[in-house]
Amino acid sequence: MAFALSSMQVTSSAFADHQAIPSKHTGEGEDVSPALAWQGAPEGAQGFAVICHDPDAPLVKDGSYGFVHWVLYNLPGDIQELIEKTAAGTVGVNDKGDTGYCGPMPPEGHGKHLYYFWVLALDHQTSLPEGLTLAELLKEVEPYLLGMNRLVGTYQRD
């Protein structure tokens, strides 16, 4: 299917689609990942991966734009949610250079940014090593992608 939207629905108990992400989940707060849930995964989904990306960040790295806040993979196909500050799955590298979740913290005075929390449904359970970048993850999972969708949150520093 490649990288095309599916009818899968992604939600969070922390914020609604296109609404503000609570400061608890940002670099100005506790910097913990929000709870996420998804329904209607494509038939045959055996695994999932989650990505959080800010396309509004004024950065270009290795030919891509924005800022990667979270790369999480090796999630089993029998789950449909992640709790806040989840320990599930295997963490990749964010654009801060750390592994795990790195909450929103756009430059001061830069206005409101959009944060895309993507859930990718895969046709098999992955067992990829820790520390993959977003580009490395996408290269690995693209052949197995059944569908994907996202929840968009917003954040703006005062």
Residue 53 forms part of a structural domain: yes
Is the model's pLDDT at 14 over the cut of 50? yes
Is the model's pLDDT at 3 over the cut of 70? no
Residue 4 forms part of a structural domain: no
Q: What are the tens digits of pLDDT across the range 35-90?
A: 999 999 999 999 999 999 998 887 656 666 789 999 999 999 999 999 999 999 99
Residue 34 forms part of a structural domain: yes
Count of the separate structural domains present in the chain: 1
Tell me, what's the pLDDT at 34?
98
Helices (H) and strands (E) in the chain, counts: 1, 11
Residue 79 forms part of a structural domain: yes
Residue of 154, 16, 36, 137 whose CA lies nearest to 85:
36
Q: Tell me the residue range of the domain where 140 lies.
A: 9-155
Residue 139 forms part of a structural domain: yes
Alpha helices in 9-119 (DSSP H): none
Is the model's pLDDT at 1 over the cut of 50? no
* CATH number, domain with residue 140: 3.90.280.10
Residue 60 forms part of a structural domain: yes
Residue 15 and residue 124: Cα distance in Å, rounded? Answer: 30
Tell me, what's the pLDDT at 62?
63
Is the model's pLDDT at 95 over the cut of 90? yes
Q: What are the tens digits of pLDDT across the range 106-125?
A: 888 888 999 999 999 999 99
Residue 67 forms part of a structural domain: yes
Residue 3 forms part of a structural domain: no
What lies within 8 Å, CB to CB, of 60 at 6+ separation is none
